[in-house]
Amino acid sequence: MNIIDELDWRGAINQQTDAEGLKKLTEEKSIGLYAGIDPTGDSMHIGHLIPFMILKRFQEMGHKPVIVIGGGTGSIGDPSGKKAERVLQTMDQVKHNEEALTKQMLKFFGNENFRIVNNRDWLSKISLLDFLRDYGKLFNVNNMLAKEVVASRLEVGISFTEFTYQILQSVDFLHLYKNEDVQLQIGGGDQWGNITAGTDLIHRMEGQEAKVFGLTIPLLLKADGTKFGKSEGGNIWLDPEKTSPYEFYQFWFNQDDRDVLKFLKYFTFLDQDEINELADKIQTAPEKREAQRRLAQEVTKFVHGEKAVQEAENISAALFSGDVQNLTASEIEQGFKNMPSVDITNQKENIVLWLVDTTKIEPSRRQAREDVQNGAIRINGEKITDLEAEIDPNERFDGKFVIVRRGKKKYFLARVK
């Protein structure tokens, strides 16, 4: 299947500058294409992932993606999607973010048929006079004001700095066309004005016969009408230090039946036959959540690797069954991250005193004795009914944790300090 047909089936195309021309070109040859990301943070979140999944699909079909880390544009600020001016970052912050994002991209794309470039390398070499004479002269202010990204900011105001962003992004496309054989730019729907400004600049400077194209991706909405990409706790990050692989897995596993088919098409590389089979299972056996499980497995594997999928599923099974004894310290760190926790020493102590005085899990010694005798307390997965039992924090999980379950569902984590 042609890559454009594939994207169309997946619902991943919003706008194209020349649909027929792009499809024909991708059938004739391997093309260069790019998407950019400004280093405004040191990790991408899942909202950023969408255009790069599209680049990955092109790469899988033999095309040559280029990723532009916006060291130049990132120091200016993209007005897209913002109601006010961005706070400019220090150059040290920008550099740190560039390095972090580069590592993430290399993990996803490898080194074959793929390049990462930084637009500071060419934008920083353009003098102010050259910028105005060579590029500014080719942009009509009336047309720039009409672009949605600028028009949406006129009421509250926009600085000249952010106003020029679309020129800089256009220069990026021109540079990549001339030096990296790039003919297609991909971005979110809010980038349409910037992308078309780039194709226009190339046609003015290189001639109307230049084969350059733009493609945008639809705004991804959930079935309830809210924007995809966030949970109640905020962004779902690709950096495992910001969002653990277990939390990442659970985010995908907990998707609504109404959304999971769409997300399978967007975020996995499963073929049409397998996705259609999963679509049938959503209808016939939704309680098994097989489509959600497959989605969680595939996206977690893409971002964090196969080992992370296994760890996430181990944690999920242990928390569901209560059998936490075989979890590793790393799995406990992930699975119990958001559960009530307390810091303790590694000293042994009687269970009743430990539950009341040391951890304050129980409100009183009477209640602690009652819960222990009734079998309501499990320590590291083992039911404790002996009032004389001792808690030894060094006994399990590399001496780092003690897991307490009170009743059927209430978990507590004691961290040994």
Residues placed in the known binding site for ATP: 230
Q: CA end-to-end span of the chain, whole Å?
A: 57
319: enclosing H helix or E strand? helix 306-321
The token pair at 333 is 């760190």
Residue 69 region by backbone torsions, left for phi larger than 0, else alpha for psi between -120 and 50, else beta: beta
Q: Binding site for L-tyrosine, residues?
A: 34, 165, 169
Cβ atoms within 10 A of the Cβ of 35, count? 22
Residue 380's contacts (CB-CB under 8 Å, 6 or more residues apart) are 324, 325, 395, 396, 397, 402, 403
142 burial type by CB count under 10 A (0-12 exposed, 13-18 middle, 19+ buried): exposed
- Is residue 97 helix, strand or coil? helix
User: Residue 207 corresponds to which tokens in the numbers above?
Assistant: 């001639």
- 55 touches 33 (CB < 8 A): yes
Residues 187, 17: contact at Cβ < 8 Å?
no
| Cβ neighbours, 10 Å, residue 254 | 11
Cα–Cα dist 13/251, whole Å: 25
Are 33 and 3 within 8 A, CB to CB? Answer: no
Judge whether 226 and 20 are in contact, CB under 8 Å.
Answer: no
Question: Which residues make up each annotated binding site?
Answer: 34, 165, 169, 230
